[in-house]
């Protein structure tokens, strides 16, 4: 197995793998996530492929904001053959050239992923992740009542 940047001809296979691994959600467009990751200099998608063969064994999306690195869409098929570990190591190597810390999020109700990352030496952070949807049809700023009077 070798790990390299995902190629355009593999985009559909990567998205199919993400669906199979239950990494997608109806409100997230994985193709848009993929396009954004590949559009800028601070992110990419790494692909695990068989030595001397075709096919996609796994992916990991990596990116950074100049302070922290992030991993997303880690998927491997079949599982249990070291592909996930190899992809995490490749993601860490890619990110270490840019930032000193790697972070990721694991959805609640996914103990297998939590166990996988704990086995690799990752620790649960003492932070909470907050979010606000600001896409089409959503307000882009908090209501004035939350910020106090603007007068």
Question: What's this model's pTM, rounded to 2 decimal places?
Answer: 0.85
Within a domain: 143: no
Under a CB-based contact definition with an 8 Å cutoff, are residues 62 and 43 in contact?
Answer: yes
Under a CB-based contact definition with an 8 Å cutoff, are residues 102 and 63 in contact?
Answer: no
Within a domain: 136: no
Residue 63 phi, psi dihedral angles, 5° rounding: -165, 165
Within a domain: 10: yes
State yes or no: pLDDT of 150 exceeds 60. Answer: no
Largest CA distance in the chain: 67
CATH number, position 69: 3.40.630.30
Within a domain: 146: no
State yes or no: pLDDT of 149 exceeds 80. Answer: no
21-78 pLDDT, tens digit each? 999 988 889 999 999 999 989 999 999 999 987 899 999 999 999 999 999 999 998 7
Structural domain total, the chain: 1
Question: Alpha-carbon distance 131 to 124, whole Å?
Answer: 19
124-133 pLDDT, tens digit each? 999 998 988 8
Domain assignment of residue 66, given as a range = 2-129
Find the mean pLDDT for residues 91-118: 94
Q: What is the rounded (10 degree) CA torsion for 21, 22, 27, 30?
A: 0
- State how far the alpha carbon of 94 is from the alpha carbons of 60, 125, 138, 139, 147, in Å: 11, 22, 35, 36, 40
State yes or no: pLDDT of 80 exceeds 60. Answer: yes
Within a domain: 140: no
């Amino acid at each position: 197995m070798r790990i390299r940047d995902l190629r355009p001809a593999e985009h559909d296979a990567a998205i199919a793998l993400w669906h199979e691994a239950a990494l997608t959600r109806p409100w997230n467009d994985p193709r848009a996530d993929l396009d954004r990751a590949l559009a800028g200099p601070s992110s990419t998608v790494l692909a695990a492929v068989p030595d001397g063969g075709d096919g996609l064994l796994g992916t990991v999306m990596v990116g950074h904001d100049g302070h922290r690195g992030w991993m997303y869409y880690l998927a491997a098929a079949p599982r249990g053959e070291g592909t996930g570990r190899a992809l995490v190591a490749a993601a860490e190597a890619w990110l270490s050239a840019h930032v000193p810390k790697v972070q990721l999020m694991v959805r609640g109700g996914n103990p297998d992923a939590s166990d996988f990352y704990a086995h690799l030496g990752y620790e649960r952070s003492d932070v909470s992740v907050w979010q606000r949807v600001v896409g089409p049809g959503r307000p882009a700023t908090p209501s004035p009542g939350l910020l106090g009077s603007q007068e």
